[in-house]
Structure 1
Amino acid sequence: MKKLLGLLLAGVALTTACKKDDFLEPRTSALTEDTVFSDSLRTFSFLSRVYADMGFSFAKGRWDSHGNTEEATDDAEYRYSGSGQKAVVLYSGTLTPLNFPFPEFYDLPWANIRRCNLLLSKLPTTPLAQSTKNRLALEARFLRAYYYEQLLVCFGGMPLIGDKVYGIEDVINQPRDSYADCVAYLSSELDACAAGLTSRANQNGTDYGRITSGAALGLKSRLLLEAASPLFNGGAETQDPSLAAVVSYPTYNVSRWQAAADAAQAVINLNQYALVEDNATAPGNGFYSLFLQRVNTEYILPFNRGANRDMEGFYFPPTRGGAWNAMPTQNIVDAFPMKSGKPITDPTSGYVATNPYVNRDPRFYNTIIYNQSLLFLSGAMAPVNTYEGAASDGFDGTTSVTGYYCRKMCDALSSANTQRAWPLLRYAEILLNYAEAINETGQTTLAVPKLIELRRRAGIDAGTDGRYGIPAGISQAQLRTFIQNERRIELAYEDHRWHDIRRWKIAMVTNNAYNNRMRIVRSGTTPNFTYTYNVVSSIRRHNFRPEMYLLPIPDGEIRKVPLMRQNPGW
């Protein structure tokens, strides 16, 4: 029996509809490859189908309408606790090649890679102007690289199939290419896309959200940062040299960090993007408002959405109509510094454990709903009560199990639908990419100005030295920790933490414990609150093993493709 790489054949209704009747579309009208690619509108619609999946990893309801990788980290506690829930499978470490209930990790990228290749093969014969064919080809090549990058960060090196379109009768038994070859291939593809695609400045309004040259360079920045990171830069969890070359670079090389810094600098040099900054309305208002704008100077790769209340419905507490699916942990609350920029562990920071939410980094107030914080309700701002026993929203093991709800990316000031786009890639990430990469080359002082940009926009005080809480004379190791924390709070709940703790190889620490929470008890008619740091009673303990730094390739794929090697430890 011929063995097929079924995922390369996924999403192929166009090639099978002509062979038999479909109950939704009789044979007389079913679409075939010829009918699709002989029509301009249908050709555009086919590419739009590939675009439509771009937000799959970011989507808040990625699993079971309420799960996402953020709930498998130390940043968020998942509302649901059933052992079969996908987020629980991921964070409890019960996944295996046979128990891998996450088809979108592997299947969805391959299905869209095939769609891109099919489009590329048909474009020359479509009735489109040559300039339009050229643009669509570059967009398809970017999208193919985008889905490949999703595979690389989760699994390591993958088979590089080029422009090949596999058919039903093809025998497919292709081995995985080396991680180095995959990175080189994707870098080359993204360079070509950047050279040929228009800039954001030259887009007309109807094209906003389509791929630009800046998006191509931005994705390259992310790719090369991952490639330079400890997991992939000589960090394979195996003693087999041939397998190590498949899942990572075999040995460490600091030059990869310089390449990552250069890639981020290339985006910065475009001078097309800027942080959304507004500290006049309120400290850090730019950080709050940017997520409520579909079009802004910071979004490099937006995923446009119709006006909606999706974020609010996912995160908000019961009194505001939310499903509180992911609740911030005390872990991430503690990561936010004070408004001075000093960490709460610094005895000179002014942090008071008995009044822990005063004078914090303004990003804290725009990310976390804490006890007594104000949120829109019935035409006015009203406090959210998360203390133990409080009606509806209180800490009781049924609603808030951490003492917090999430405010990030939500409209806290009205109940109207929001014109929003998901930030699949924004300029703040590029600044953090540069700072991390250049610090790892030993050029620590070059990283500081980018971090100052972020902290100034955040609304942190400049301080007498103008360093926004960044200590003078900070060492490379100290700045590494600082950057990791800055990235955590700046990009919280934006589909980064799960990948970051793996690529930094810190998940054995962050994900082998219970998430921390805060028990809040009210006393007196004039409310006084007692805050008790509770370190052991979150819903379930997180478990992480070294082999989980890379996900297992589903067993069915290994069986279908004998040359497809499994990841280390699985």
Structure 2
Amino acid sequence: MKKIIKISIISLALLAGHGCDDVLDVENVSALDPVAVWSDETLTNAFLARLYQITMPGAWPLDAGNSDEGYGLLAANAITANGHPFATFGGYYSDIRQLNTLFTEIDGGTLEEDFKNEIKGQAHFLRAWTYFNLVVRYGGVPIIKNVQNLEDDLQVSRNSTGETFDFIIEDLDNAISLLDGFQGSKGRINEAIALAFKGRVLLYKASPQFNPSNPFDNQYWSQALTATETAMNELAQMGYALESNYANIWSNENTSEAVMPVIFSDPDRLNGRRENCVRPLSISKNCTGGDVPVWNFVESYPMADGYQPGDVNSAYTYDMATYWENRDPRFYATVLYNASIAEFEGVAGRRIYLEESVGDPVDVFAPGVQIGDAKTGFYCLKGLEIDLSQAEVETNDVDWIEIRYAEVLLNFAEAANENGRGAEAIQVLRDIRQRAGIEPGAGNTYGIASGMSRDAIRDAIYHERYIELAFEGKRFWDLRRARRLHTQLDGLRKTGLLPDLKAGANPADAATFSLIPTDFDYSIEDIVTGVEPVMVTPESYYFFPITQNHLDENPNLEQNADWGGTFDPTL
């Protein structure tokens, strides 16, 4: 793969901030002068930079609490037609209006055709990205291709879900065509990103979320297979591959796995994950914690040979008293557990203690104690810059990888399995586990048996995504896509693992980091939240309601059927 310079969004955003404010005021469409803006590559790039800023992820996701990964829960009435945490309907249409401004105006200038096509290609992707975020939340939505002015009829109706998917794919096909051979700087949308995203989109289209009456034998799975296989093969030819060491994915800014990175650079653009919110609070500041793993998630990791804890085929005996021993190497790259070594601030051999008699009070998990955010006996390590001092924690600028090559492979595996190519799906799982450092075992199976049924392979793929993509903002949406939200999350009690210093162990040894995990006993305990720690995720959550304020503004918008309306959001 060619070496890519780390500029893109950051450089363009800085450019946009110098003397271009009037040009970027796209709310006032009449103020745009096509001759000035669309005849100047600098101004056009500045306009495009603004589109990136408003449409692309602006930070690492912090939504593990919506699934079975982290602390937090969707409780009763978390989602209503009057408001909910995923209610972004109007905001997305504001973005679409600005994207449509580009398509409406760009041909009025004198830009070189090749440059103009590169700009259009990126804008087609950004519009597809925006409509995809709408369709996975609501189902079919109004398709608007032109800038709506005040004199236009703004009382638009919803297009069908099938029409919305078709429009997204049309935009992506345009992006792929226009960006053929375009590399751009790191972080800019290119052909590889569009190919990979098309595979994700068609995987959703074929999924049980959109096809509840025929979840695995519908006509769309062949489309998903074509798209995901094309993405996998073409990206491999471009040089994309699995990072050799899973633990290095986030620290290696030139990783071959970063298909769609969102670039951050201190001090110009920080990643918003705010390391101060994720690391233990005793070495943080100005935050109350986030992305705290729960025991439900931690116990789901395979053993070092790829078999689940307690599986008779595993070479390792599992005991909760030593739950951290002989686990999948991805466990150690993701989870910070009691008395584990984590050399924050560059302190050699440093261990973090999460037990109340030896740990810092703001870090520990203790019965009935609620200090800051809820504690679970664990913290998340993925994406942290642990060498940062406490004073520097807000400067974390680790790039966010929205699409990793591992996801591209897993997307193909899922589509292959549903199209009768289970052996290829199994091989993908083994390849990913080989990279993870799991022991091959007899026959190089990596804990994934040959000859499994389609249902068993499907379950294995979903579980592998759970582990491989942990805390990457994928789990909640995967469970919705698979229609497993109500079967795996509804009624789930989230728990933590309570450490208790054993009799005879010397608490003073914590000062020299001499206490090790086996110096503690462990018990599963409910998390203290002030409310019943039970997830509420009924089947109505597979499509969210359009909030009442938007229905009031536009009587032609139909509400989704599960929310008192007549619109069917499925295919």
Fold shared per TM-score above 0.5:
yes
Partners of 1:440 and 1:360 lie apart in 2 by: 30
Please report how far the alpha carbon of residue 106 of structure 1 lies from its aligned counterpart in structure 2 after TM superposition: 1.8
Letter in 1 for 2:253: R
Please report how far the alpha carbon of residue 432 of structure 1 lies from its aligned counterpart in structure 2 after TM superposition: 0.8
Q: Which moved more, 1:90-99 or 1:212-221?
A: 90-99
Q: Of the candidates 110, 115, 126, which is equivalent to residue 98 of structure 2? A: 115
Letter in 2 for 1:551: F
- Which residue matches 1:77? 71
Partners of 1:507 and 1:454 lie apart in 2 by: 25
Given the superposition, is the C-alpha separation of residues 447 and 251 from structure 1 closer, same or farther in structure 2, using an over 3 Å criterion? closer
Letter in 1 for 2:383: M
Equivalent pair of 1:15/1:33 in contact (CA under 8 Å):
no
Please report how far the alpha carbon of residue 253 of structure 1 lies from its aligned counterpart in structure 2 after TM superposition: 4.2
Q: Of the candidates 332, 345, 353, which is equivalent to residue 310 of structure 2? A: 345
Letter in 1 for 2:422: T
- Which residue matches 2:226? 262
Q: Of the candidates 342, 351, 357, which is equivalent to residue 383 of structure 1? A: 351
Equivalent pair of 2:345/2:388 in contact (CA under 8 Å):
no
Please report how far the alpha carbon of residue 33 of structure 1 lies from its aligned counterpart in structure 2 after TM superposition: 7.2
- Which residue matches 1:560? 553
Q: Which moved more, 1:556-565 or 1:93-102?
A: 93-102
Given the superposition, is the C-alpha separation of residues 57 and 96 from structure 1 closer, same or farther in structure 2, using an over 3 Å criterion? farther
Equivalent pair of 1:387/1:395 in contact (CA under 8 Å):
yes
Please report how far the alpha carbon of residue 464 of structure 1 lies from its aligned counterpart in structure 2 after TM superposition: 1.8
1:317 aligns with 2:290: no
Aligned length: 505
- Which residue matches 1:336? 301
- Which residue matches 2:433? 455
Q: Of the candidates 253, 258, 264, which is equivalent to residue 299 of structure 1? A: 258
Partners of 1:33 and 1:569 lie apart in 2 by: 45
Aligned 1:172-211 pairs, distance under 5 A: 172-199=154-181, 203=183, 207-211=185-189
Given the superposition, is the C-alpha separation of residues 326 and 92 from structure 1 closer, same or farther in structure 2, using an over 3 Å criterion? farther
Partners of 2:464 and 2:29 lie apart in 1 by: 51
Residues 479-523 of structure 1 deviation map (CA, whole Å, 9 limit, x = unaligned): 211111100111111111121111111111314222122111112
TM-score, normalised with respect to structure 2: 0.82
SS across alignment from 1:77: coil
CA RMSD of aligned residues (A): 2.6
Q: Which runs of 5+ in 1 are unaligned?
A: 1-10, 19-29, 61-67, 79-87, 236-249, 279-285
Partners of 1:292 and 1:536 lie apart in 2 by: 32
Letter in 2 for 1:472: S
Partners of 1:269 and 1:477 lie apart in 2 by: 25
Equivalent pair of 1:54/1:303 in contact (CA under 8 Å):
no
Letter in 2 for 1:197: L
- Which residue matches 2:371? 398
Letter in 1 for 2:408: I
Given the superposition, is the C-alpha separation of residues 251 and 77 from structure 1 closer, same or farther in structure 2, using an over 3 Å criterion? closer
Given the superposition, is the C-alpha separation of residues 172 and 411 from structure 1 closer, same or farther in structure 2, using an over 3 Å criterion? same
Partners of 1:15 and 1:421 lie apart in 2 by: 30
Q: Of the candidates 148, 162, 173, which is equivalent to residue 166 of structure 1? A: 148
Partners of 1:33 and 1:398 lie apart in 2 by: 56
SS across alignment from 1:14: coil
Q: Of the candidates 238, 247, 261, which is equivalent to residue 272 of structure 1? A: 238
Partners of 1:497 and 1:547 lie apart in 2 by: 18
Letter in 2 for 1:272: M
Partners of 1:259 and 1:144 lie apart in 2 by: 21
1:288 aligns with 2:258: no
Please report how far the alpha carbon of residue 102 of structure 1 lies from its aligned counterpart in structure 2 after TM superposition: 4.8
- Which residue matches 1:356? 323
Aligned 1:339-488 pairs, distance under 5 A: 339-347=304-312, 348=314, 349-381=316-348, 382-389=350-357, 390-392=359-361, 393-396=363-366, 397-398=370-371, 401-412=375-386, 415=389, 420-488=398-466
Please report how far the alpha carbon of residue 422 of structure 1 lies from its aligned counterpart in structure 2 after TM superposition: 0.8
Please report how far the alpha carbon of residue 403 of structure 1 lies from its aligned counterpart in structure 2 after TM superposition: 0.7
Q: Of the candidates 492, 514, 524, which is equivalent to residue 533 of structure 1? A: 524
Letter in 2 for 1:566: Q
Partners of 1:426 and 1:143 lie apart in 2 by: 18
Partners of 2:94 and 2:254 lie apart in 1 by: 30
Residues 156-200 of structure 1 deviation map (CA, whole Å, 9 limit, x = unaligned): 111112x2110122222222111112222222221221122044x
- Which residue matches 1:56? 57
SS across alignment from 2:403: strand
SS across alignment from 1:534: strand
Equivalent pair of 1:72/1:91 in contact (CA under 8 Å):
no
TM-score, normalised with respect to structure 1: 0.82
Partners of 2:196 and 2:102 lie apart in 1 by: 24
SS across alignment from 2:322: coil
Letter in 2 for 1:398: I
- Which residue matches 1:246? none
Given the superposition, is the C-alpha separation of residues 295 and 395 from structure 1 closer, same or farther in structure 2, using an over 3 Å criterion? same
Residues 525-554 of structure 1 deviation map (CA, whole Å, 9 limit, x = unaligned): 255211112257555322112211111111
Equivalent pair of 2:310/2:317 in contact (CA under 8 Å):
no
Residues 83-113 of structure 1 deviation map (CA, whole Å, 9 limit, x = unaligned): xxxxx6x54433211133555x323322211
Equivalent pair of 2:207/2:216 in contact (CA under 8 Å):
no
Residues 321-348 of structure 1 deviation map (CA, whole Å, 9 limit, x = unaligned): 1642221011111121011000113143
Please report how far the alpha carbon of residue 292 of structure 1 lies from its aligned counterpart in structure 2 after TM superposition: 1.9
Partners of 1:353 and 1:101 lie apart in 2 by: 36
Equivalent pair of 1:514/1:538 in contact (CA under 8 Å):
no
Equivalent pair of 1:517/1:538 in contact (CA under 8 Å):
no
SS across alignment from 2:365: coil
Q: Of the candidates 518, 532, 535, which is equivalent to residue 542 of structure 1? A: 535
Letter in 2 for 1:299: A
Partners of 1:350 and 1:544 lie apart in 2 by: 35
SS across alignment from 1:165: coil
Letter in 2 for 1:294: E
